[in-house]
Amino acid sequence: MNPILEVEKVGRRFESPGLNPLIAVDGVSFKLASGETLGIVGESGCGKSTLARMVLKLLAVSAGRIRLDGADITDLPEAQMRPLRRGIQAVFQDPMSSLNPRMRVRDIVAEPMRAAGIDAATREARVREMLSIVGLPADAAERYPHAFSGGQRQRIAIARALASSPKLVVCDEATSALDVSVQAQVLNLLGELRTRYGLSMLFISHNLGAVRYIADRVAIMYLGRIVEIGPVGAIFDKPAHPYTEALIAAVPEPDPDLPIPEALLGEIPNARERPIGCHFHPRCPKAQDRCRVEDPALVAGNDGRQIRCHFPN
């Protein structure tokens, strides 16, 4: 069976006159199996949202290929891409800005079905079904987005994303704008829907707890590259890359007797002036001379993971 998504050496550069190019994504590769959830984690500016926009074909790639359910969509014109969009939908960070405030919920949820050419009667029945599935009352269909809480608006966004029966859903920081208790509710809902519909998901987040809860595998991104990718349990229980280790160590534990974790040293470098050698070496407590001159490749490690490091744990 073909993977639902193949990302092969994908990159994105932003050019500016008189400046070095900004390399937002640099040679990222991975495959996503049917029914699998891949979490993508990293600090702000690491390129994870840019990668999401390229997968959704909201942003053109500068290099590499993207295949959706076996079809190469990298350079596909919009007229040819439009029929395929039914199979890939998105849930974004801020539901208020991603929902049209002038449209009733009925029309918001029906919008991707209308674009896919689904008839009105089927759309109406599907809207009612999806609102019920995401836990909203039937009369929600007649209201506008401003009448709902943040968590309810995200449920509307999820209903819209699933209305056209996609095979792949891209969640780009889908829970980060919500209160902690509401985050848990939305994560539970996404998990239930994944099981019900056999969805494949890209779950992009800076929240490691959310990723550990919902993902099967996790990719750690740093300065546009994947530095470690593999099964969630293996990576969270025994991180191999120093950056992964630092991210996990920085997650606060709900125990007042434990010491407060130290912040990751320094800040992520400018993507226009990336360090020579390993891009992480200026912040790495384990860096050696080799790291300052030689760029490590992403190589296979233990437990089904890949690591970009000269001296992994």
Q: How far apart are CA 105 and CA 114, in angstroms?
A: 14
Residue 254, pLDDT > 70, answer no
Can you give the residue ranges of every domain in the chain? 238-313
pTM of the model: 0.92
Give pLDDT tens digits for 173-207: 888 877 888 888 999 999 999 999 999 999 999 88
Closest CA relative to residue 312, chosen from 233, 229, 204, 205: 229
Give pLDDT tens digits for 76-104: 998 899 889 889 999 998 888 889 999 99
| Radius of gyration of the CA atoms of the chain, in A | 20
